[in-house]
Amino acid sequence: MVPVREASAEDGHDRAGADRDDGTLARWLADRAPEVHGSVTVRRIGNGQSNLTAAVTDEAGHRWVLRRPPPGRHDRTAHDVHREVRVLTALAGSPVPVPAVVASGQDEAGIDGPFYLMEHAQGEVLNDEQDAAGLPARERLTVSRDVAGVLAALHAVSPAEVGLSDLGRPDAYLERQLARLARNWSSWTVGREPHSEWEECRTRLAARIPGQQRVVITHGDYRLSNVVVAAGRINAVLDWELCTLGDPLADLAWLADDWRSPAEPATAIPSPTRVGGFLDRDEVVAGYADSAGIDVTDLPYYRAFTHWKAATLLQGVLRRRGDSGVRGTPSSAELEGTIHALLTEALELL
């Protein structure tokens, strides 16, 4: 969700480099992908805080991507990798570029819990400004246009036609999100003083919920760090664990909030576009609106909602860090500053 890297008990293991499989995974994969040669190595990639991602490479250099929940955390809601498999399979062949699923399993191949492997998509993932700085100027403009077009293409896919009409409730998306996030905030702030900005924002959001224009397949975390970019185009959309049926403007607002300009301050949440050279936020929004045929007049409300949502999720990061006693990057002070900044901007947008 919120791309904040936290230290964990696994970090030392991850930094140690690749792990050679004892042969169990290689044999399991060879039965499903005949091009496997010899043994395989598994290396954690990315900074995901929910389902974990690893590169699986054989001796010939063939590569696949493994997705699984964090060890010991098989929450069916937050870490449902089989849901991801369902979505990826449903969208295969659609205008939305997704990697092909190779196989999935449960408590096999030497892996505890559910998991799946997919094809490795060629290209780069732009996690932060440093990654984006390596993108040529022309490609920054083309990917700016493509990121809007791909989101519009996703929202044009009929859930019923791809077998996803039961992926989630089609109605009251914002109402349900507000209620769920408020419950989370309450559990994450037990024993703390009431937060006036957060409460004022929640009250004002709940008071004027706009009507939902369409029911679409929403990605739930659509931003540059969750797509693979190749030659200035989006080659694959990744991380579908939050996909559901919902409001298209909530997806657009999440992208718009991530799409910060060089003039906007840095926060604890990296924003690749702050390096400059991309289309500005209004141009990306206009490109989406033209392609999707959706009225974006209420987008400031949705952006206020996503600011508030991100602030709430960061409070969860702070709570987990406090419970574990582990320090992380960014610091707790930076996280608290970002929560304050997000809520202040949310109230301005409202």
The residue with tokens 């969750």 is 226
CB-based burial of residue 161 (10 Å sphere; 0-12 exposed, 13-18 middle, 19+ buried)?
A: exposed
CB 227 within 8 A of CB 237: yes
pLDDT beneath 70: ranges in the chain: 1-18, 20, 46-50, 72-79, 322-328
Query: Mind listing the domains of the chain with CATH numbers?
Result: 11-119 (3.30.200.20), 122-167+218-295 (3.90.1200.10), 172-211+297-350 (no CATH)
pTM here is 0.89
Phi and psi of 246, rounded to 5°? -170, -155
pLDDT at 9: 33
Residue 295 and residue 339: Cα distance in Å, rounded? Answer: 29
314 CA to centre of own chain: 14
pLDDT at 322: 65
